[in-house]
A = this chain, B = another copy of it.
């Protein structure tokens, strides 16, 4: 039976999403499975649910430590803890949404994460976004104007609503139809599920 892609729900600004962003293109090539990149605002949903793991200092400290260990083990660049949380999370993700419509979402998200995690420049800040967009050959002024348009803001809200309806409560989440797999560390489970479907 023909199957669609696996939906990769993410928000630029999430810690562990870095690992998924860095390995997903290779995983896709190796498995032949397509992933549809779906930026939205997990922050909105987490506030609604009063789901605030980051408010627990021991847990937040652990997450950065664990992320650093896993990045090193997988050979992804990492330079101690970057600025967190992001100041302009929504703008960064609306830029990614524009990219998902124009075919450069993956490239922007990867560039934005690398700049954030290795240079400590925040996605959604003017300097970082200008550099990331230039790096991938996009016109910053045009893209930022689109990202700030009511049309894109509405689509960003609609994507967040879709994630809410699916029962998403954290990112990254891989969705195989209605079946959710939360966390970069559940990517293998999602792929196994997809293959059995």
Contact = CB atoms under 8 A, between A and B. Distances in A.
Interface residues of A, number: 28
A117 to B, nearest CB: 20
A66 to B, nearest CB: 7
A75 to B, nearest CB: 15
Interface stretch (A48-56, A99-107, A124-132): A48-56
Chain A's interface: helix, strand, loop or mixed, by majority? helix
Interface stretch (A17-25, A86-94, A136-144, A180-188): A180-188
Given A55-B50, A56-B169, A62 B182 contact: yes
Contacts of A155: none
Given A58-B169, A169-B58, A66 B185 contact: no
Interface of A: 49-51, 53, 55-59, 61-62, 65-66, 69-70, 73, 167-170, 180-182, 185-186, 189, 192-193
